[in-house]
């Protein structure tokens, strides 16, 4: 390499800055919210919440695997590396852009409640809500069946090859990353007394720290069984037998029948058009349509004129969230048990009706649910795209961190505690019933433009998810931010809306805002009557892949609040 003096380099940079588009410091000034550049690649892209999982996905793509193959491989790796938010003891939802068919398809791979557990058991125990940990909130894990359903339709590599990287990492170990280590310590302290938890997740009696090498040989063996014997090993074979025997011993109500009769469901995603972009979510039992309801409510407002993250802008989004979440509490449930009026809830006409309740000058204390029948009276998120222009938006969770805290003998994973989200109020659409899917918070999202894929994205994090979806989309569509900026920009999180479990909002709830929101905006919100409080975290975890059809390239973005990475090839 020829020697370049500092003086020459300075002159070259000065000349470049006077003639070329803004870059470096000037570029960062133009993108005040971005923590890093977007990632751009031609043949494939992956974005996950853990860099090693992202690299696994890229490796699978480079071996000729499909986007779905890579997503499954990454999810299996995250189940090992980020057990604080994922694992095969939990559920899965996905939206897939099928390039050959030119359309989106959805998969609901959430599990159901035990046949043997009824609401009478909770009443006999004088319970008013389902506990968050232990045997009672456990529902059938749907993740594994979701993997095999996706693979059967869209996989290219054999499942042993797809699961091989996760098996290797589980057997040989991996260094724990920083944020995951933080949540691991919190979860470990809370769950250490539950059966088998400490033996698997607290080696040496403590949670692994940042950089510690963690191994999970039990999970490696479980993955090996799945790779060689398929999904039936988990739902009808040796793994199912182990889980059912364990459940009986620890007073969990799941039995062999619950595993054997589990099925995933292919569903049609639903959408609304927001300023020319079709935003797609999955129908209930998830909460995805809350994001569509929010978008419909805010669409007529000139958000751009209000300015990004101004008090007026945040107020309108917060009030729209409150309105949508009252309907979420009243109507969202398993559609096999309840006639959820999805079409009406996400209609523009219904949004017009609900929008009348939004006071631009005052924070609401409570809203009634609406009447959507106008003519009749709630993780890890990852996204992958392949060379054939297939894309998958996938979200998977144990619910509360590690889940229930119960680890079936010798299998290396926690059962989820998703059943906590059932209501115990008789007559509620989401009331606890046997073999029923609970209300779900985890939601993948997708956006198309003129019938073509535009954005595969998600924002993990409980009730934050619909709020996060809307904020990301407003950042991009209303304010012109790029995919990375849109995720990095400061967010709000409203707490305290009525819940699908039965709790009611009576005092307007409260709002947390990140440090990037100005003091002026905070004071404006307080003046309107919003209760602002401080919170550490809770603003979600975003990953995204945008498809630039004009250039035929992928653009990836990864959440700056997580350990994650977007990468391409």
Q: Tokens 């980020």, residue?
A: 82
Tell if the pTM clears 0.85, that is, is over it: yes
On the 0-12 / 13-18 / 19+ scale of CB atoms within 10 A, 426 is exposed
Residue 542: beta bridge partners? 459
Worst-scoring range by mean pLDDT, 101-105, 338-342, 373-377, 429-433? 373-377
Give the active site residue among 379, 383, 448, 501: 379
Q: Is the pLDDT confidence value at 33 over 90?
A: no
Range 464-473 average pLDDT: 97
User: What's the average model confidence in pLDDT over 9-29?
Assistant: 36
State residue 400's pLDDT score. Answer: 87
pLDDT > 70: percent of the chain: 93
Given pLDDT bands bounded at 50, 70 and 90, which one contains residue 379?
Answer: confident
Q: How confident is the model at residue 169 (pLDDT cuts 50, 70, 90)?
A: very high
In the structure, what pLDDT confidence band is assigned to residue 55 with cuts at 50, 70 and 90?
very high
* Residue 416: both structure tokens together: 């989820």
Mean pLDDT of 25-45: 78
228-235 own/partner pairs: CB under 8 Å, 24+ apart: 228/160, 230/148, 230/159, 231/144, 231/145, 231/147, 231/148, 234/88, 234/141, 234/144, 234/145, 234/259, 235/144, 235/145, 235/259, 235/260, 235/262
pLDDT digits (tens, 9 = 90+) for 401-433: 899 999 999 999 999 999 999 999 998 999 999
Specify the pLDDT at position 7: 36
Q: Kindly tell me if the per-residue pLDDT of 2 is higher than 90.
A: no
Bridge-based pairing of strands 103-109 and 270-274 is unpaired
The predicted structure's pLDDT at residue 417: 96
Percentage of the chain with pLDDT > 90?
A: 88
Say whether 118 is catalytic. no
pLDDT tens-digit series, residues 128-155:
999 999 999 999 999 999 999 999 999 9
d(CA 248, CA 455): 44
* pLDDT tens-place string over residues 316-344: 999 999 999 999 999 999 999 999 999 99
Confidence band for 30, pLDDT divided at 50, 70 and 90: low
- What's the rounded Cα separation, in Å, for the pair 370 and 347? 13
| Token pair listed for 520 | 């002026």
| Residues contacting 126, CB < 8 A, separation 6+ | none
pLDDT reported for residue 530? 97
Residue 494: pLDDT over 70: yes
Ordered domains of the chain (ranges, CATH): 1-30 (no CATH), 39-265+382-421 (no CATH), 267-284+291-380+442-568 (3.60.20.40)
Q: How far apart are CA 217 and CA 330, in angstroms?
A: 44
Output the pLDDT for position 534: 84
Q: Mean pLDDT in the chain? A: 92
Q: Is the pLDDT of residue 3 over 50?
A: no
For residue 32, pLDDT over 90 is answered with no
Lowest mean pLDDT among 171-175, 275-279, 308-312, 500-504: 500-504
Q: So what's the pLDDT on residue 373?
A: 54
How many other C-beta atoms lie within 10 A of the C-beta of residue 551? 10
**DSSP symbols for 22-67:** P-HHHHHHHSTT-SSPPEEESS-EEEESSHHHHHHHHHHHHTT--H
Say if CB 531 and CB 508 are below 8 A apart.
yes
- The 10s digit of each residue's pLDDT in 215-232 is 999 999 999 999 999 999
Structure tokens at 235: 């739902």
Cα–Cα distance, 16 to 10 (Å, whole number): 10
Tell me: pLDDT of 4 over 90. Answer: no
Q: How far apart are CA 462 and CA 430, in angstroms?
A: 17
Contact (CB, 8 A) for 131 and 137:
yes
In this prediction, residue 537 has a pLDDT band, given cuts at 50, 70 and 90, of confident
Checking if the pLDDT of 550 tops 70, the result is yes
For residue 376, pLDDT over 90 is answered with: no
* pLDDT at residue 24 tops 80: no
| Distance from C-alpha of 542 to C-alpha of 96, rounded to nearest angstrom | 18
Dihedral in degrees, nearest 10, Cα atoms 124, 125, 130, 136: -90
- Does residue 22 register a pLDDT over 60? no
User: Burial, 8: exposed, middle or buried (Cβ in 10 Å; 0-12, 13-18, 19+)?
Assistant: exposed
């Amino acid at each position: 390499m020829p020697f370049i003096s500092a003086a020459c380099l300075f002159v070259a940079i000065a000349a470049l800055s006077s003639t070329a588009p803004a870059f470096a410091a000037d570029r960062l000034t133009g993108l005040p919210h971005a923590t890093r550049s977007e990632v751009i690649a031609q043949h494939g892209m992956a974005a996950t919440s853990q860099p090693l999982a992202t690299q696994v996905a890229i490796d699978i793509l480079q071996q000729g695997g499909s986007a779905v193959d890579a997503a499954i491989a990454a999810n299996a790796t995250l189940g090992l590396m980020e057990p604080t938010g994922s694992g095969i003891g939990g559920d899965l939802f996905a939206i897939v852009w099928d390039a050959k068919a030119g359309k989106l398809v959805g998969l609901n791979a959430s599990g159901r409640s035990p046949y043997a557990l009824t609401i009478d058991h909770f009443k006999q125990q004088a319970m008013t809500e389902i506990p968050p940990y232990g045997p009672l909130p456990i529902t059938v894990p749907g993740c594994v069946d979701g993997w095999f359903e996706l693979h059967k339709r869209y996989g290219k590599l054999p499942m042993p090859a797809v699961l091989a990287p996760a098996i290797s990492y589980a057997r040989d170990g991996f260094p724990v990353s920083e944020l995951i280590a933080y949540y691991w310590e919190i979860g470990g302290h809370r769950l250490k007394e539950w059966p088998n938890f400490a033996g698997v997740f607290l080696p040496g009696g403590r949670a692994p720290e940042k950089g510690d090498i963690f191994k999970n040989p039990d999970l490696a063996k479980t993955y090996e069984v799945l790779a060689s014997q398929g999904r039936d090993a988990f739902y009808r074979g040796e793994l199912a037998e182990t889980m059912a025997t364990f459940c009986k011993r620890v007073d969990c109500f799941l039995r062999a029948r619950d595993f054997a009769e589990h099925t995933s469901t292919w569903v049609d995603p639903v959408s609304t058009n927001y300023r020319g972009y079709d935003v797609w979510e999955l129908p209930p039992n998830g909460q995805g349509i809350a994001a569509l309801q929010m978008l419909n409510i805010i669409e007529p407002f000139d958000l751009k004129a209000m300015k990004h993250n101004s008090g007026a802008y945040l107020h309108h989004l917060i009030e729209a969230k409150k309105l949508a979440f009252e309907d979420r509490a009243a109507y969202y449930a398993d559609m096999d048990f309840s006639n959820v009026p999805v079409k009406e809830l996400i209609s523009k006409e219904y949004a017009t009706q609900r929008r009348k309740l939004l006071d631009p000058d005052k924070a609401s204390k409570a809203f009634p649910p609406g009447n959507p029948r106008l003519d009749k009276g709630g993780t890890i998120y990852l996204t992958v795209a392949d060379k054939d222009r297939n894309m998958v938006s996938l979200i998977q969770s144990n619910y509360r961190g590690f889940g229930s805290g119960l680890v079936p003998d010798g299998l290396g994973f926690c059962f989820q505690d998703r059943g906590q989200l059932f209501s115990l109020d008789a007559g509620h659409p989401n009331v606890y019933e046997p073999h029923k899917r609970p209300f779900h918070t985890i939601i993948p999202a997708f956006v198309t433009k003129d019938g073509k894929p535009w954005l595969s994205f998600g924002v993990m994090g409980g009730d934050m998810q619909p709020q996060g979806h809307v904020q990301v989309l407003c950042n991009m569509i209303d304010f012109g931010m790029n995919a990375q900026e849109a995720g990095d920009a400061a967010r709000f999180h409203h707490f305290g809306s009525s819940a699908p479990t039965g709790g009611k909002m009576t005092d307007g709830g409260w709002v947390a805002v990140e440090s990037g929101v100005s003091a002026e905006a905070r004071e404006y919100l307080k003046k309107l009557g919003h209760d602002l409080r401080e919170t550490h975290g809770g603003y979600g975890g975003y990953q995204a892949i945008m498809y630039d059809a004009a250039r035929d390239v992928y653009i990836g973005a990864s959440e700056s609040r997580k350990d994650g990475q977007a990468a391409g090839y």
